[in-house]
Amino acid sequence: MELKEKLLSSFMAFEEKIDFHQELHDVRSQAIKNFESKGFPTKKEESWKYTSLNTILKNDFSVFPKKENSIEFKEVKKYFLHEIDTFKVVFIDGIFSSFLSSTTHDGLDVCLMSSALNKPKYKMYIDEYFNKVASKEESLTSLNTAFASEGAYINIPKSKVVEKPIEIIYFSTGAEAALMVQPRNLVIVGENAHVQIIERHQSLNENPVLTNSVTEIFAKKRAIVDYYKVQNDVQTANLIDNTYISQKQESHVSVHTFSFGGNITRNNLNFYHQGERIDSTLKGVTIIGDKQHVDHYTLVQHATPNCESHQNYKTILDGSSTGVFNGKIFVEKEAQKTDAFQKNNNILLSDKATINAKPQLEIFADDVKCSHGCTIGQLDENAMFYMQQRGIPKKEAKALLMYAFTSEVTGSIKIPELRSKIARIIADKLGVKMGFDL
């Protein structure tokens, strides 16, 4: 049975085993109808023209884990930011792990989506926020909405500065021959509140995994949200990450995406402005090789005056890997005084590596400052020669140049311990040991 048919036939059984109210049933039903109509995206769609899911969909994925699996902390300690204390929300094969999680907190509402979707005390928030900024048309987002059951629910109250980062980690044990999981996260950050969140998806063996994740983030007036995505999975893991962000007046939201591992990774990142003096930051570093494929699709919709957005994506490709950057800035007629900047720089280390870059500006306002730039090239041979002449071996010289290339992005990480961790991952990707952190 093809995966689409398996999902459609599983939908009624899924709804029967969960508690839900009528409004959610209607939302799920409409979502599964949209997925049934559109199916999985293909390269015939403009936004997917450089990314094919055909090889992934040949796997016989289980759409629900057959049993609940456990993991010892020592087995996965290296994946956590253990240098400092953090709140932890951990899932194993899509199921919450109370053993690995640490959500004891003061004044925060950090719980499970399953609780938020089903308990009366959360109904007001679910009615107001769930599926309100996520696309109703995008087929994979609709698929996630139809099966939305588990994930992280985070509600930061007004004026609360969260004292330590929140880590959301999804582990796949590989107990199934092939598994599809569909986590759903909802993050609500109140007026003047500030939170830092780190998200990671990690497989623990080589069995194929397909993760179709959706995250909705709502930043109220003057809220500050720093969101970090660490993607360094095994090369049989596939991730489709759909993130939708709604920003109110004077809010600041930054999303850093670090894509190092996995087979096929697709990041859909969408920002929507709903007030003046908003600041949106989108940054990413991609370092891949072999036949890996990473696709960044970004959208910033400027709908209000006096707002800013800044995009900066760095990509290093080796082997027969493929990178995609499809960035779109949309400025509506009312969004005067917009300042929007987009930059995408790419280095090809192999003749077989490929990059597809498509920066887009659609501007309907006349008093704006918008720019975009894209470069594709190789490492500077003169700089390599200069460094080797001063006693630096070629491998280390190459790594130093690539560190410098990525530092514009990594240097803006606001959690020092995470910045050091990313530096170590980059050094490992480059096959060198560095005597310093970024």
b/e code 308-338 from CB counts within 10 Å (16+ = b) = bbbbbbbbbbbeebbbbbbbbbbbbeebbbb
> Which range (10-14, 84-88, 149-153, 412-416) has the least confidence?
10-14
Contacts of 64 (CB under 8 A, 6+ apart): 10, 14
Q: Does 430 have pLDDT greater than 70?
A: yes
Cβ burial, residue 225 (10 Å; 0-12/13-18/19+): buried
Q: What is the DSSP letter of 157?
A: P
Most confident of 75-84, 211-220, 363-372, 389-398: 211-220
b/e code 361-395 from CB counts within 10 Å (16+ = b) = eebebeebebebebeeeebeeeebeebeeeeeeee
**What angle is formed at CA 374 by the lines to CA 337 and CA 321, rounded to 5 degrees?**
135
- Classify the phi-psi angles of 14: left when phi > 0, otherwise alpha if psi is within -120 to 50, otherwise beta: alpha
Which of 315, 361, 357 is CA-nearest to residue 338? 361
Beta-sheet strands, E only, within 74-165: 87-92, 95-96, 109-112, 152-156
Token reading at 240: 């489709």
**What span, in angstroms and rounded, lies between the C-alpha atoms of 11 and 15?**
6
For residues 164 and 197, is the Cβ–Cβ distance under 8 A?
Answer: no
**What span, in angstroms and rounded, lies between the C-alpha atoms of 64 and 203?**
16
Pick 18 or 361 by higher pLDDT: 361
Q: Does 316 have pLDDT greater than 80?
A: yes
Token reading at 62: 């289980």
pTM of the model: 0.94
Token reading at 373: 């730039």
Helical ranges in 203-352 per DSSP H: none
Contacts of 179 (CB under 8 A, 6+ apart): 61, 62, 65, 93, 172, 207, 208, 209, 210
Give per-residue pLDDT as tens, 207-220.
999 999 999 999 99
State the pLDDT confidence band at 106, using cuts at 50, 70 and 90.
low
Mean pLDDT estimate for the chain: 92
The pLDDT, as a whole number, for residue 399 is 77
Sort strands 209-219 and 237-248 into parallel, antiparallel or unpaired. Answer: parallel
State the pLDDT confidence band at 438, using cuts at 50, 70 and 90.
very low
Alpha carbon dihedral 83, 407, 192, 161, in 10-degree steps, equals 10
Q: Does 331 have pLDDT greater than 50?
A: yes
For residues 328 and 300, is the Cβ–Cβ distance under 8 A?
Answer: yes
The pLDDT, as a whole number, for residue 390 is 75
Give the pLDDT mean for 23-30.
89
Cβ burial, residue 93 (10 Å; 0-12/13-18/19+): buried
Beta-sheet strands, E only, within 304-420: 308-317, 322-331, 339-348, 354-357, 360-363, 369-377
Give per-residue pLDDT as tens, 185-195.
999 999 999 99
The pLDDT, as a whole number, for residue 67 is 76
The pLDDT, as a whole number, for residue 437 is 43
Give per-residue pLDDT as tens, 119-163.
888 999 999 999 999 999 999 999 999 999 999 999 999 999 999
Give the pLDDT mean for 71-97.
92
**What span, in angstroms and rounded, lies between the C-alpha atoms of 273 and 258?**
24
**What span, in angstroms and rounded, lies between the C-alpha atoms of 424 and 437?**
7
Give me the percent of the chain exceeding a pLDDT of 70.
Answer: 97
The pLDDT, as a whole number, for residue 396 is 78
Which of 62, 104, 61, 97 is CA-nearest to residue 79? 97
Alpha carbon dihedral 261, 241, 107, 114, in 10-degree steps, equals -110
Give per-residue pLDDT as tens, 27-81.
999 999 999 999 999 999 999 999 999 999 999 999 988 777 889 888 999 999 9
- CB atoms under 10 Å from CB of 239, counted, come to 24
- CB atoms under 10 Å from CB of 73, counted, come to 12
Place of tokens 């839900």: 20
Give the pLDDT mean for 79-98.
92
Q: Does 337 have pLDDT greater than 90?
A: yes
**What span, in angstroms and rounded, lies between the C-alpha atoms of 360 and 355?**
16
For residues 258 and 422, is the Cβ–Cβ distance under 8 A?
Answer: yes
Give the pLDDT mean for 254-263.
96
Q: Does 436 have pLDDT greater than 70?
A: no
b/e code 124-155 from CB counts within 10 Å (16+ = b) = ebbeebbbebbbeebbbbbbbbbbbbbbbbbb
The pLDDT, as a whole number, for residue 104 is 67
Q: Does 340 have pLDDT greater than 50?
A: yes
Which of 159, 8, 141, 169 is CA-nearest to residue 79? 169
